[in-house]
Amino acid sequence: MAESAAMSSDDDAQFVDRHMADLIQRVIIVMPIADNLVQRGMIPKEMYSNIHAASTSQQQMRLLYEALKGGVKVKSAFYRILLEQQPHLVQDLGQPSVVHASTTLNSKDKDKNIEMCQTELKSYLKRTFERIFPGIAIQGRPTLLNKIYTELYITEGGSGEVNKEHEVMQIEAELRRPATQEMAIKCNDIFKSLPGQDMTIRTVLTKGVAGIGKTVSVQKFILDWVNEEANQDIQFIFPIPFRELNLMKENTLSLIELLHEFFVEIKESGLSNLKEIKVLFIFDGLDECQLPLNFKTNVICRDVTKSTTVDALLTNLIKRKLLPSALLWITSRPAASNRIPPECVDQVTEFLIFQIIQTTQKYHEDSDTDLHWDKETIMKLGKLAFEQLEKSNLIFYEKDLKEFGIDVKEASLCSGVFTQILREECAYQEVVYSFVHLSLQEFIAALYVFLSFENNNEDVITPQQPSNSTGIVLYEENRPDNIYKSAVDQALKSESGHLDLFLRFLLGLSLESNQTFLRGLLTQTVGSSQSNKGTVDFIKDRIRKNPSPERCINLFHCLNELNDHSLVKEIQIYLKSGGDSKIELSYSHWSAMAFVMLSSDEELDVFDLKKFVRSDEGVLRLMPVIKASKTILLNSCNITWRYCENLALAFSSSTSSMRKLDLSHNGLTDTGVELLCLGLGNPICKLETLKLSGCKVQEEGCASLASALMSNPAHLKELDLSDNNPGDSGVKQLSAALEVPHCKLETLSLVNCSLTGTCCEALASALRSNSSSLRELDLSKNDLHNMGMELLAAGLRSINCKLETLRLLDCQITEQDFSFLGTAVGSNPSHLRELDLSYNHNLQDSGVAYLSAALGNLLCKLETLRLVTCGVTEEGFSSLACALKSNPSHLKQLDLSNNKAGDAGAKLLSAALGHPGCELLKFRLCDCGMTEKGWAFLASPLSSNPSHLRELDLSRNVLGDSGVKILSALLEDPHCELKTLRLESCSGECFVSLASALKSNPSHLRELDLTGNNLGDSGVKLLSAGLEDPCCKMEKLSLICCKLSWECCETLAAALSSTSTSLRELNLSHNNLENLGVKMLSAGLGNPHCKLMILRLSDCGMAEEGCAALATALRSNPSHLKELDLSLNSPGDFGMNLLFAMLEVPCCKLDILSLDNCKLTYYCCAALATALSSNSCSLRNLNLSNNYLLDPGVKLLSSGLEKRQCKLEKLELANCKFNKDGCVSLASALKSNPFHLRELDLDHNTYGRGKALLKALQKDPHCQLEKVRLSTLLESQGGG
């Protein structure tokens, strides 16, 4: 016996070897065979992954044959599986053993028999599906499907994830969703692989809400096949609705017998060998399925002639145990789609919800909507609707209708109501019924409950009085609103929200204004403002008791039905005021805020939680808004791991719009990240950007992220893990995920993650992988020397590496490391576009030489190179110059700042810059030890090729007068389009020529920095004249420490008040302007034409009189200035009182005010407190450091801070000479108004117990404080 088996195995193996060429070409469906082999342990999992990743069936078979070389046993197993799944192919290749003993028909006869059977089946299907009843089932009015069919587009829908949300809410959510580019699939193409999908599609699950057209699309698919317009590779289609299978759930039969029951044409033809033909089973309406679908416990059935339960037949078909070559199409409403295990589905598709509006309009456009009410029928149908809705039943049979006293034949003949509300369909051996739409069932149910109560005083919702755990009755006896209260409580118990819309309808019917539409059904109109008020108060109480966010949103819809908008109006006032109102936000207000945002017509693109509240509970309450928004900013919001699961559920929901999530600087820890990964790993999750910088993530959290990326690699494009401690092992696991086929991660940030060179081998492996999509990698502030760069370079050298941006700032890279990097860039030069090696002090000239060799390669496409503070000297500049001359046309940005190359280095670079192909846009040489001689070298080539350069930084180089003159000549050139020029501390005095140049060519320069140069008043006067030129586009002018006096201010003021000025930012700090100069300047600021937004006058010799002039000017023109710096002046308390009063002007937009070291005392604090508590005050950032405020001043200031109108976000009070009393008053103020302040600087004061109070305050969920600076030097002095 054993010898016989061995011979049989040898024969099998010989057959496989003999026909391998044919098998590679003719085995079209490979993966079911590979699945079987890997389950038996016949082929390694690595080989299986390669087979799965192959793009064609031929490639899959070639790889599979490589696995079959393992010996006779595996080849025999392959043969046996092929024989079971594709016997016709084995027979065609000449293996006689597969011929059935009972087979008497020859091949020609079989083909003829199949063709006859096809013809008969198509004839039956055409009769069945070519006509439909559009919209409502009105007898005698069928319509040709092709006449009214609208092409519905289906989209790729992730996985079979359960969505427990009510379908009407899903439609509402879809309408709020920002427009996205979905992968559209036409109905006839659902079994075709999508672009990038290297797999055979065998089982498709299509989801869609009720009424969107799932069944009609199935009918259209079948009709097009029948008419030979599509899918002619399919030989037989067997449509079997679940509602008809329900009627056979007690039967025991084989698959062939099941088909014979539904399709007599198959039975009469004798067709039974389904393995030889390509068939499609369509199971429509999974949500109506009453079979248990026991995938785990049902017996395995592989024989189409073996009898078993209908449930077992179905589960074996879906699991591919029975007839694995067959195609399956299953349609379902979203809530039921999770009944099919995800591993059994090749593709999930989803109907675009917005189409329901279009299709409804089309199918109903000719319908007669005149409904003649029949009270008795309505009440019977209502009772049916209500009691079945409570059980979540949507499909009924004739016996169900009889239970409610509905005679189907009589009703359909006599009542128009019946035919317009119920839909009847013929199923296997029985007629089934359903309401034409779920929402109609909910409305009829609500109508029945309402009429029963109002006409008959019958409470059908509450059969007995509910009580709480103490036995106390929850509703008062004989109150007319008890039924509505009871309905609210029943709806709140539902996790899926299946009673939500019913409740809205019921409460809407309770309003007298709506009862006129009930015609003769209501004996009298019964609305009562008192009972409605009781219901409103009850709903508000339930909102305060903090139900789930989704149920809470529905309660706000209920208040809307009852015309109560009080909570909503409160929150609308709060939002309009920017958080200024006196409302103290409670949980109910947060839910109201969610309702308001979801109800708004504005697209929810970016949601920033910091604008409202910073806490875990805030995240939970606003979760519906989070799900509806595209970009979610939760950074620095005091979120802990506790609510990460809720976030994971949100972004893995099929209705979620979320594409970007920023959770940076929250204490999530590994636990939180693990919970997030539950959602991230779900195939339905479409998140593209995840930022977790500074979230205390370690190795375990990184492993969870890697696992999630492997499970769902197709969506995440950006991941930021900077400022965490994942360790080398964590990064290794993450790198493995990058190699998974279809991984789409493009940007990975690992800045300051305590990494060493050990992790670079895994990263290099990922870069070498053909599957990797990584385009940007940031490893800055990690110690990567000692082999790290050598390992990483191995990945960069690979032709598969597609990295475009590499940042390695401050990575302790040595000269030798740069040799590896240079070689790598030279070996694979065509992808890298940006390279930043700044602050690697050991780069030096030899390192630059290695790098330059790669830059000189004509294939090198590097556009941005930064080498700031790298110890490069003249020799290094020489190497760079040679490289740029060899390959001049790609580099666009070059930053060599803080390298001491001197004039000789500048001379070497100048030759490269003068090359006709040079297209440098940004050139930074700040602090490079260059003099006017060096600048002369550079200016010459720039003059000959001036049209490309847009930004030039020559700060902290000694240009001298001749250098400035050369620069001026460059600027005068009409071809020069320079927009940013920085000449800080360039030791030049002849800036008259520069001003003249700007006047002659004013149309391009946007930013000019002349800080630290001896410009003088005459130079500014010339500059000012240029600013008035209508062609001048200067927006930012910095003249810090330029030896200016009051004399230049009049011309500056004239420029500011010019109708043509574009200036938005002016910095005159550290110039001796005095009061007179500030007065002159104020004349320009007060002019309505002045659009200045930022003015800095630090250390300008200004006193009280100058401050008064500024206040007057700003009162005259308050709507533009947003930032004012008066530090290091002596404006006096009186001057400041005038300025603070200006903050109360309604149009004042001042956002930032700096008064550091202004010799202020507590006398000015009362006026400041009044301004801060004003509704009009826009101030967000206030610096009062180094002033003599003392305890009385801080107490006065606190009286303003405690007001809800105060919106201050940053307050600096360092060294203000106050003690513990002042600190305590600050803590008390912030306890009263914790909603805005984010940063507080109290350095160098005495705190006492105030420190503890402030620390405790930070734990308040409402508190927004992120940073509190408390120096340790003076803490011991506080006492108490």
| pLDDT per position as a tens digit, 725-742 | 999 999 999 999 998 888
State whether 328 and 402 are in the same domain: no
pLDDT of residue 728: 92
CATH of the domain at 692: 3.80.10.10
Q: How confident is the model at residue 714 (pLDDT cuts 50, 70, 90)?
A: confident
Q: Are residues 288 and 398 in the same domain?
A: no
Q: Residue 124 falls within a domain, yes or no? A: yes
Express each pLDDT in 809-852 by its tens digit: 999 888 888 888 888 887 777 688 999 999 998 888 888 888 88
pLDDT class of 674 with cuts at 50, 70, 90: very high
At residue 1149, does pLDDT exceed 80?
Answer: yes
955 inside domain = no
pLDDT mean across residues, the chain: 80
Q: Which residues contact 59 (CB under 8 A, 6 or more apart)?
A: none
Tell me which of 715 and 580 has the higher pLDDT.
Answer: 715
Are residues 196 and 114 located together in one domain of the fold?
yes
What is the torsional sign of CA 140, 145, 151, 152? Answer: positive
Looking at the predicted structure, is the pLDDT value of residue 1235 above 60? yes
pLDDT at 476 over 60: no
Strand ranges of the sheet holding 422-427, from the earlier edge strand across to the other edge: 396-397, 430-435, 422-427
The better pLDDT of the pair 41, 723 is held by: 723
Write out the DSSP string of 97-152.
GGS-TT----HHHHHHHHHHHHHHHHHHHHHHHSEE--SS--TT--EEHHHH--PP
Please name which of 1044, 1065, 1063 lies closest in space to residue 1055, comparing C-alpha atoms: 1063
Whether 63 and 121 share a structural domain: no
Intra-chain end-to-end CA distance of the chain, in Å: 96
- Which pLDDT band holds residue 201 (cuts at 50, 70, 90)? confident
Q: Are residues 242 and 319 in the same domain?
A: yes
**Which tens digits make up the pLDDT trace of 1172-1189?**
988 888 899 999 999 999
557's CB contacts (< 8 A; 6+ apart) are 500, 504, 595
| 1276: confidence class by pLDDT, cuts 50, 70, 90 | very low
492 lies in the same domain as 388: yes
Q: What angle do CA 166, 167, 169 make, to 5 degrees?
A: 70
pLDDT of residue 161: 42
Per-residue confidence band for 137, with pLDDT thresholds at 50, 70 and 90: very low
pLDDT score, position 126: 82
Whether 730 maps to a domain, the answer reads: no
Residue 707 has pLDDT above 80, yes or no: yes
Distance of CA 225 to the CA centre of its chain: 40
Q: Is residue 1046 part of a domain?
A: no
**Over 50: is that where the pLDDT of 1278 sits?**
no
700's tokens:
């375990």
Which residue, 1016, 986, 1022, is CA-closest to 1002?
1022
pLDDT at 673: 95
pLDDT of residue 71: 80
**Alpha-carbon Rg for the chain in angstroms:** 39
Mean pLDDT of 582-588: 60
Give the chain's domain count.
Answer: 5
Q: What is the predicted pLDDT for the residue at 382?
A: 87
**Would 412 be classed as within a structural domain?**
yes
Do 529 and 610 fall into the same domain?
no
Predicted confidence (pLDDT) at residue 519 exceeds the cutoff of 80: no
How many other C-beta atoms are found inside a 10 Å radius of the C-beta of residue 464? 6
- pLDDT tens digits along 801-810: 989 999 999 9
Q: Distance (Å, rounded) from C-alpha 918 to C-alpha 881? A: 12
- Compute the average pLDDT of residues 128-142: 53
**pLDDT at site 989:** 61
More confident residue, 57 or 1031: 1031
- 564 pLDDT band, cuts 50/70/90, is confident
Distance CA 214, CA 485 (A): 37
Task: Tell me what the mean pLDDT of segment 792-797 comes to.
Answer: 88
Q: How far apart are CA 177 and CA 627, in angstroms?
A: 9
Question: What is residue 790's DSSP assignment?
Answer: H
Predicted pLDDT at 763 = 94
Question: Mean pLDDT across the stretch 1099-1119?
Answer: 91
Unique residue bearing structure tokens 């390192």: 847
pLDDT bracket for residue 1031 (50, 70, 90): confident
**Can you give the pTM of this predicted structure?**
0.65
55/183 same-domain check = no
Which of the given ranges, 62-71, 459-468, 810-819, 1127-1136, has the highest pLDDT on average? 1127-1136
pLDDT for 963? 82
Q: Is pLDDT above 70 for 686?
A: yes
Which residues are CB-contacts of 771 (< 8 A; sequence separation ≥ 6)?
738, 739, 740, 741, 742, 743
155 and 172 share a domain?
Answer: yes
Domain boundary residue among 37, 70, 98?
98
Give the per-residue pLDDT at 215.
Answer: 76
Spatial distance between the Cα atoms of 431 and 433, rounded to a whole number of angstroms: 7
Closest CA to 1197 of 1171, 1219, 1166: 1166
Has residue 141 got a pLDDT over 70? Answer: no
Comparing 369 with 687, which gets the higher pLDDT? 687
Cβ atoms of residues 335 and 162 within 8 Å: yes
Residue linked to tokens 């260059």:
930
What residues make up the domain containing 69?
A: 2-98
Q: Are residues 92 and 113 in the same domain?
A: no
Q: Does residue 58 sit within a domain?
A: yes
Sequence-distant (≥ 6) Cβ neighbours of residue 1029 within 8 angstroms: 999, 1002, 1060
Question: Residue 921: is it exposed, middle or buried by C-beta count within 10 angstroms (0-12/13-18/19+)?
Answer: middle
Spatial distance between the Cα atoms of 433 and 419, rounded to a whole number of angstroms: 11
Q: Are 1020 and 1047 in contact (CB under 8 A)?
A: no
Q: Which residue has the higher pLDDT, 660 or 614?
A: 660
Of the candidates 1051, 1112, 1120, the residue with the CA atom closest to the CA atom of residue 1090: 1120
Burial (0-12, 13-18, 19+ Cβ within 10 Å), 776: middle
Whole-number percent of the chain with pLDDT over 70: 80
Helices 1016-1027 and 992-1000: crossing angle in degrees, nearest 10, is: 10
**Pairwise pLDDT comparison (86 vs 1063), residue with the higher score:** 1063
The pLDDT value given to residue 856: 85
Using the predicted structure, report yes or no on whether residue 1 has a pLDDT greater than 70: no
Percent of the chain with pLDDT strictly greater than 90: 25
Same domain, 410 and 545: yes
Residues 94 and 111 in one domain: no
- Average confidence (pLDDT) over 204-230: 80
As a whole number, mean pLDDT of residues 877-899 equals 89
The residue-averaged pLDDT of 585-611 equals 71
Summarize pLDDT for 609-625 with one digit per residue, the tens: 777 666 666 677 778 78
Residue 209 scores a pLDDT above 80: no
Give the residue from 953, 949, 998 showing the smallest Cα distance to 978: 949
SS3 for 952-990, per residue?
EECCCCECHHHHHHHHHHHHHCCCCCCCEEECCCCCCCC
Decide if 749 is inside a domain: no
pLDDT of the residue at 162: 41
Q: How far apart are CA 794 and CA 801, in angstroms?
A: 10
Helices 482-492 and 438-456, axial angle in degrees (round to 10): 150
Question: For the domain that residue 38 is a member of, what is the CATH number?
Answer: 1.10.533.10
- Domain boundary (564, 591, 620) is at 564
Q: Which pLDDT belongs to residue 230?
A: 85
**What is d(CA 1186, CA 1156) in angstroms, rounded to the nearest whole number?**
6
Which of 37-41, 136-140, 407-411, 1226-1230 has the lowest average pLDDT? 136-140
Amino acid, res. 1147: C
* Averaged pLDDT, 664-693: 91
Residue 1019 domain flag: no
At 196 the pLDDT is: 54
CATH number at residue 172: 3.40.50.300
| Pairing relationship of beta strands 422-427 and 203-207 according to DSSP bridges | unpaired
The CA-based dihedral angle spanning residues 436, 441, 444, 446, taken in that order and rounded to the nearest 10 degrees: -160
Helix, strand, coil distribution of the chain in percent, nearest 5: 45, 10, 45
Low-confidence winner among 33-47, 880-894, 1007-1021 (lowest mean pLDDT): 33-47
How would you label 829-847 residue by residue, b for 16+ Cβ within 10 Å and e otherwise?
bebbbbbbbbbbebbbbbb
Max mean pLDDT among 158-167, 607-616, 861-870 falls in 861-870
pLDDT of residue 473 exceeding 60, the answer is: no
